[in-house]
Amino acid sequence: MRLRTLIAAATLALASPSLADPAIGKRVDAVFADDTVTLTEAGRTVLVYRTKPINPATEPGRANYISPLYAPDGTALTEDRPGDHPHQRGVWWAWMKVQADGKSVADGWYMKNLAYSVREKRFLGDPEGGGTLTVEVDWIVNSGDELAYVAREITKVTVRPVKSGVRRLEFDTTITSRLDAFGLGGSEDDRGFGGFSIRLVDPEHLTFASGGKTLVPNGAAMDAGQSMGFAWSGGSNSPAWTVGLACKANGQAVTRWMLYNDRSMQNCVFPGRAPVILKKGQTLRLQEAVIIRPVAKKKP
């Protein structure tokens, strides 16, 4: 019962943004480097956004993602390039099918023939003490004789100040086609996974709940509520935090989920196996909210 209550709290917290307590005086800020942007609050790292690959010669597509993502106490909640699934990247959005005029030309999930060129990165604080990082990215396909510019992405990551120990983050991504027919689709199997994903630490001890119900992963994509709560069941290395996630695609809630409590990622599945097709100039908008909430301490 206590575990269900903890997870429910993580999902219910998605209802409204957290604003800073005026007396605290802490502000979210950004530190820019050549290959990363680090968002901080009161000098403590909130997240690191990777804008260039660490090894461009071997993994040119390993960019345009977040890792680590930290809890307010500095606990790392994500992992990058884990040994079991080295293509997984902390917090990222990718699809196995990247199509041009009906033909698959790249695989963003496994980083094949697709690279991300960050054109611009900027940060703007807000009056409540939070701030928004905006990153403009060109999607470049290199599977043919020439490089092909297939899409423009603009991603905004808004970090709200911590309030009562709770952190809220909001992601807003628009992907605009530069082709007559640009397609994005999930895995070819029945799971169809693809889209916004998060590789949480210690996944073997994760538990899941949505809409007040506990869920047990079964290796297949499952339909659930509009938000998902993740909590750790108390392994020796488990964070003392819960994570809530809600996803939208073009304004509609994503309610299909790919969940694992073994060594893998968590994914709100969009669009599934069948690709979404964008005409030239047409835009796909993805929105996500992440809530990081401390586990309530037991009363003596």
Give the DSSP H or E segment for 183. Answer: strand 181-185
Q: Cβ(179)–Cβ(152) under 8 Å?
A: no
**Residue 266, C-beta contacts closer than 8 angstroms, at least 6 positions apart:** 197, 198, 199, 200, 203, 206, 228, 230, 245, 257, 258, 259, 260
Cα distance between residue 53 and residue 32, in whole Å = 15
Does the pLDDT value for residue 300 go beyond 60?
no
- The tens digit of pLDDT for each residue in 241-292 reads 999 999 999 999 999 999 999 999 999 999 999 999 999 999 999 999 999 9
Report how far apart, in Å, the C-alpha atoms of 275 and of each of 68, 79, 95, 195 are.
30, 28, 9, 11
Q: What is the dihedral of CA 191, 67, 203, 288, to 10 degrees?
A: -50
Using CA of residue 147, residue 149, residue 150, residue 151, what is the dihedral sign? positive
Name residue, tokens 């210690």: 202
* DSSP structural state of residue 280: T
For residues 157 and 206, give the distance between their C-alpha atoms in angstroms, rounded to a whole number: 25
Please tell me the total count of domains within the chain: 1
At 100, which helix (H) or strand (E)? strand 97-100
pLDDT at 18 over 50: no
- What one-character DSSP code corresponds to residue 61? T
In DSSP terms, 276 is beta-bridged to: 184
Q: Does 300 fall in a domain?
A: no
pLDDT at 237: 79
Helix (H, G, I), strand (E, B) or coil at 4: helix
**Residue 22 pLDDT exceeds 60:** no
Whole-number CA gyration radius for the chain? 19
Structural domain of 268: 2-294
At 97, the amino acid letter reads: K
* Three-state secondary structure of 205-274: HEEEEECCEEECCCCCCEECCCEEEEEECCCCCCCCEEEEEEEEECCEECCEEECCCCCCCEEECCCCCC
Closest CA to 291 of 227, 226, 244: 244
Q: For residues 24 and 161, is the Cβ–Cβ distance under 8 A?
A: yes
Residue 61 within any structural domain of the chain: yes
> Is position 46 within any domain?
yes
pLDDT reported for residue 73: 95
85-127: per-residue pLDDT in tens?
999 999 999 999 999 999 999 999 999 999 999 999 999 999 9
Give residue 299's pLDDT.
58
Q: What is the mean pLDDT of the chain?
A: 91
pLDDT surpasses 80 at 8: no
Check which CATH number belongs to the domain holding 284 and give it: 2.70.98
Average pLDDT over residues 10-32: 60
Is 210 domain-assigned? Answer: yes
In a domain, 178, yes or no: yes
Residue 20's pLDDT is what?
A: 40
pLDDT, mean of residues 6-29? 53
User: Where residue 26 falls among pLDDT bands split at 50, 70, 90?
Assistant: confident
**pLDDT per position as a tens digit, 201-255:** 999 999 999 999 999 999 999 999 999 999 999 777 789 999 999 999 999 999 9
Within-domain flag for 211:
yes
pLDDT score of 24 more than 50: no
Parallel/antiparallel/unpaired status of strands 114-125 and 131-141: antiparallel
Question: Average pLDDT, stretch 157-182?
Answer: 98
pTM for the predicted model, two decimal places = 0.90
CA distance 262 to 219: 10
Q: Are 135 and 120 in contact (CB under 8 A)?
A: yes
Q: What's the rounded Cα separation, in Å, for the pair 112 and 159?
A: 31
Q: Say what the pLDDT of residue 236 is.
A: 74
